[in-house]
Amino acid sequence: MDTALFLDICRENSLPCGEPEARKLSDFADFLLAENEKYNLTAIREERALMLRHLCDSMTVIPLIPEGARVLDIGSGAGFPALPLALLRPDVTVTALDATAKKASFINAAASKLALSNLAAVSGRAEELAHDPAYREAFDIVTARAVSRLSVLSELAAGFIKPGCRLLAMKGDPSATEEELRAAEKICRTLSLSHEETKLLTLTDAGAGESLTRSIVIMKKTAPTPASYPRRYSQIIKN
């Protein structure tokens, strides 16, 4: 990947990134594109699109993560936002979770290639792992990008979050977010998740004629999650 071009796109979007970090993200992108030829990790196969849509978009969450936080990224896929976050924030510890074992092993391979000791991936389903005492209410922040509608994601995430801490749901089209929030109201009351704020973002790559709108929905957990939540997936999606 063209590191200089990537740094230009970061600057265009006021996303701080040093040169050594950009070189590492470049190596990661090369590794991802190569592995993606062997098995499906991401639908984005073009280098320049990957810079904006995966790397820069993942970086938008960084200012919202408190110093030293323990972070869980649900449904990381090929490592977004988990890997850019771990790389650019050595103070935080990131656990990447994905239901697909191949994706979790890809993230672990990438983390070891880049010598990232603050990132580890596990494969499993969020609704099951959330009942494991080692994971229950163990995280300061849960992130999830492009994972389920909010009514489902809230229930997948709530059990992992320490009371008083937050879910950062990274969403595409902001126009759909309000409707998703309304549909999630009831389950969020049950889970003591309250909507704090929705951040609206624009990401651009003028040279490529690209402009994307995104949103990050911030939910704060105000009380412990009832022990019977999350429920089985078949029940969760009935919300």
**Residues in touch with ligand SAH (CB under 6 A):** 74-77, 80, 97-100, 103, 125-127, 145-147, 156
- Smallest separation (angstroms) from ligand SAH to the CB of 42: 6
Nearest residue (CB) to ligand SAH, 4 versus 132: 132
Q: Which is nearer to ligand SAH, 147 or 181 (CB)?
A: 147
**Closer to ligand SAH by Cβ: residue 19 or 160:** 160
Q: Do the Cβ atoms of 9 and 50 come closer than 8 Å?
A: no
In terms of Cα–Cα distance, which of 132, 106, 131 is closest to 120?
106
The owner of tokens 């993606």 is 36
Considering the complex, state which of residue 58 and residue 223 has its C-beta at the smaller distance from ligand SAH.
Answer: 58
Q: Which residue, 176 or 223, has its beta carbon nearer to ligand SAH?
A: 176
User: Which residues, other chains included, contact 7 with Cβ-Cβ below 8 Å and sequence gap of 6+?
Assistant: 17, 19, 22
Residue 105 DSSP SS3: helix
Give me the least distance between CB of 230 and ligand SAH, in Å please. 9
CA angle 81, 111, 7 (to 5 degrees): 55
Nearest to 228 by CA among 164, 166, 160, 159: 159
Beta bridge partners of 73: 96, 143
Cβ 164 to ligand SAH, closest distance in Å? 24
Q: Per residue in 167-179, is it b (16+ CB within 10 Å) or e — as a string?
A: bbbbbeebeebee
Q: How far is the CB of 83 from ligand SAH (least distance, A)?
A: 10
> Distance (Å, rounded) from C-alpha 184 to C-alpha 149?
9
**Minimum CB–partner distance for residue 145 and ligand SAH (Å):** 4
Residue number with CB closer to ligand SAH (146 or 223): 146
CB of 80 to ligand SAH, least distance (A): 4
Give the whole-angstrom CA distance, residue 144 versus residue 156. Answer: 10
* 203 close to 179: Cβ distance less than 8 angstroms: no
